[in-house]
A and B are shown apart, each in its own frame.
Chain A
Amino acid sequence: MAIHEPGRRLMHHVPLRFVRKRVEGGGGHSVSAALNLTSMIDFLVTIVVFLLMTFSASGEIPVDKSVKLPKAENTMDMLDAPMVAINGRQILVDGHPAGSTGAIEDQGKMQRIDELGAFLKTRREQWKTLNPGKSSKDFPGVCVLQVHETVSALVVKSVFQTAALSGYPNVSFMVGQIPKVEHH
Chain B
Amino acid sequence: MAGVSVDSGGKGGRRSLDSEINMIPMIDLLVCCISFLLLTAVWSHMARVNADAQVPGPPSTDQVEPQTPEKMLHVTMVTTSDDEKFVLEWRQGKTSVEAPIDVPRPHADRVAPGTCPAEPVRFTDLAKKIEAEWTARGTYRGAEATKRDQAVLHTDNKVPFCDLIAVIDAIYQPKREYPGAKKPVPAFNVTFSVN
Contacts and interface: CB of A to CB of B under 8 A. Distances in A.
Interface of A: 32, 34-35, 37, 40-41, 44-45, 47-48, 51-52, 54-56, 59-61, 63, 69-79, 108-110, 144, 147-154, 156-157, 160-161, 163-165, 169-178, 181, 183
Interface of B: 1-2, 23, 26-27, 30-31, 33-34, 37-38, 40-42, 44-55, 114-116, 120-122, 124, 127-128, 131, 155-162, 164-166, 168-169, 172-173, 175, 186, 192, 194
Contacts of A108: 157
Contacts of B54: 169
Q: Is the interface of B mostly helix, strand, loop or mixed?
A: mixed
Given A45-B30, A149-B161, A151-B160, A78 B168 contact: no
A171 B51 contact: yes
A48 B42 contact: no
A153 B164 contact: yes
24 contacts: A37-B23, A41-B30, A44-B30, A44-B31, A44-B34, A48-B30, A51-B34, A55-B41, A56-B45, A59-B42, A61-B46, A70-B116, A70-B120, A71-B120, A73-B173, A77-B47, A150-B114, A152-B114, A153-B159, A160-B53, A160-B192, A173-B49, A173-B51, A183-B173
Given A73-B169, A156-B164, A161-B194, A183 B127 contact: yes
B189 to A, nearest CB: 10
A156 B193 CA distance: 12
